[in-house]
């Protein structure tokens, strides 16, 4: 609940009702994308079906979301099934439907972590702190989708030049950006999942223009757990995304989400359809 007692729009957007083993949710006008809903929020809704499930054990370790077909504005149903429960891990199969058509599928793994030897391997990127980077301005005529206005995004590197005519192609597609919910909201697994998809498509950055592009499959691994979130509050998160290769209609993106003190919170990868 925010200071004035209303729910945050992200909580509204990811809310599900559970009845007879099936969840019902709704697309959110606040998080609309160019076509259909923002994939990050759809991913968070699919994850939420696992997290709210009465049989769920452990915390999220991995989720893969496949965006199979456009989701129409309005109500949808989600089925989440724990197909295997082990001593410390649980495997989930999930789908999202409208009118009995499957429009998204997902698999997820939850697990109870135990304390073990732990260490970072990848080093965090060196970046200016959030207060040194200007927020993405509100550009109502720039053609940005509605979901963007729910985030404070401060792009350090890698943003398509949407204000020039025919800007030159960029030499790579790397983006570094600070991101937080607007208004602020304490970070949790759902918002971290959504933020992991809150990068402009890499083809926009590399080609320096807006092109048709849509995520086909997205995988997120969580290194943040309840103890991480309990201490994190609403601090911004550093997102770092790069494409690997653009090849005949599909490119892949690898991304990391870092805490303000340089700990890896999540890693993700996605494959994206594009046209030219």
CB of 224 to a second copy, least distance (A): 9
Which residue, 30 or 271, is less far from a second copy as judged by CB? 271
Q: How far apart are CA 29 and CA 147, in angstroms?
A: 8
The 10 Å Cβ neighbour count of residue 191 is 26
User: Pattern of binders to a second copy over 20-39, x per CB under 8 A?
Assistant: --------------------
CB of 52 to a second copy, least distance (A): 21
Which residue, 16 or 108, is less far from a second copy as judged by CB? 108
Q: How far apart are CA 28 and CA 4, in angstroms?
A: 21
Which residue, 13 or 176, is less far from a second copy as judged by CB? 176
Q: How far apart are CA 181 and CA 43, in angstroms?
A: 16
Stretch that binds a second copy, among 1-9, 88-96, 135-143, 188-196 (CB under 8 A): 88-96
Pick from 181, 205, 174, 210: which is nearest to 195 by CA? 181
Stretch that binds a second copy, among 91-99, 129-137, 156-164, 178-186 (CB under 8 A): 91-99
The residue count for binding a second copy (CB under 8 A) is 65
Q: How far apart are CA 201 and CA 175, in angstroms?
A: 10
Which whole-number Å values give the CA distances from 245 to 202, 210, 248, 249, in the listed order?
A: 10, 18, 10, 11
Main-chain phi, psi angles of 95, to 5 degrees: -140, 160
Q: Which of residues 96-135 bind a second copy (CB under 8 A)?
A: 101-103, 105-107, 109, 111, 113-122
* Contact (Cβ atoms closer than 8 angstroms) between residue 175 and residue 159: yes
Pairing of strands 75-85, 213-222: unpaired
Determine if 240 is a binding residue for a second copy (CB under 8 A).
no
Among 86, 132, 164, 231, binds a second copy (CB under 8 A): 86
CB of 159 to a second copy, least distance (A): 16
Using DSSP, state whether 50 is helix, strand or coil. Answer: helix
User: Pattern of binders to a second copy over 49-78, x per CB under 8 A?
Assistant: ------------xx-x-x-xx---------
Extract the tokens encoding 17. Answer: 């009702």
What is the CA 39 to chain-centroid distance, rounded? Answer: 7
Helix (H) or strand (E) holding 80: strand 75-85
Determine if 251 is a binding residue for a second copy (CB under 8 A).
yes
Determine if 208 is a binding residue for a second copy (CB under 8 A).
no
Helix (H) or strand (E) holding 13: helix 9-14
Which spans of this chain sit near a second copy (rule: CB under 8 A)? Answer: 61-62, 64, 66, 68-69, 83-84, 86, 88-89, 91, 93, 95, 101-103, 105-107, 109, 111, 113-122, 172-173, 202, 206-207, 216-217, 219, 221, 223, 225, 242-252, 254, 256, 263-264, 267, 269, 271, 273-276
């Amino acid at each position: 609940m925010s200071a004035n007692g209303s729910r945050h729009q992200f909580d509204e957007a990811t809310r599900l009702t559970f009845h007879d083993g099936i969840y019902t949710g709704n697309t959110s006008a606040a998080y609309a994308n160019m076509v259909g809903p923002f994939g990050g929020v759809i991913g968070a809704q699919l994850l939420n079906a696992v997290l709210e499930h009465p049989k769920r054990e452990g915390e999220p370790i991995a989720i893969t979301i496949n965006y199979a077909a456009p989701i129409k504005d309005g109500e949808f149903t989600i089925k989440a099934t724990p197909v295997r429960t082990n001593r410390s891990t649980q495997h989930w199969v999930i789908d999202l439907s409208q009118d009995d058509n499957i429009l998204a599928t997902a698999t997820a793994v939850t697990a109870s972590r135990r304390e073990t030897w732990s260490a970072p391997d990848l080093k965090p990127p060196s970046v200016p702190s959030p207060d040194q980077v200007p927020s993405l301005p509100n550009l109502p005529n720039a053609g940005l989708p509605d979901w963007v206005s729910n985030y404070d995004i401060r792009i350090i590197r890698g943003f398509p030049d949407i204000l020039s005519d025919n800007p030159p192609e960029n030499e790579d597609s790397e983006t570094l950006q600070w991101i937080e919910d607007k208004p602020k909201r304490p970070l949790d697994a759902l918002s971290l999942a959504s933020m992991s998809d809150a990068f402009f498509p890499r083809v926009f950055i590399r080609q320096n223009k807006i092109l048709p592009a849509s995520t086909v499959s997205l995988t997120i691994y969580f290194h943040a757990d309840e103890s991480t979130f309990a201490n994190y509050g609403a601090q911004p998160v550093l997102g770092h995304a790069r494409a690997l290769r653009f090849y005949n209609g599909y490119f892949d993106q690898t991304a990391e989400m870092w805490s303000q003190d340089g700990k890896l919170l999540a890693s993700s990868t996605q494959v994206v359809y594009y046209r030219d």
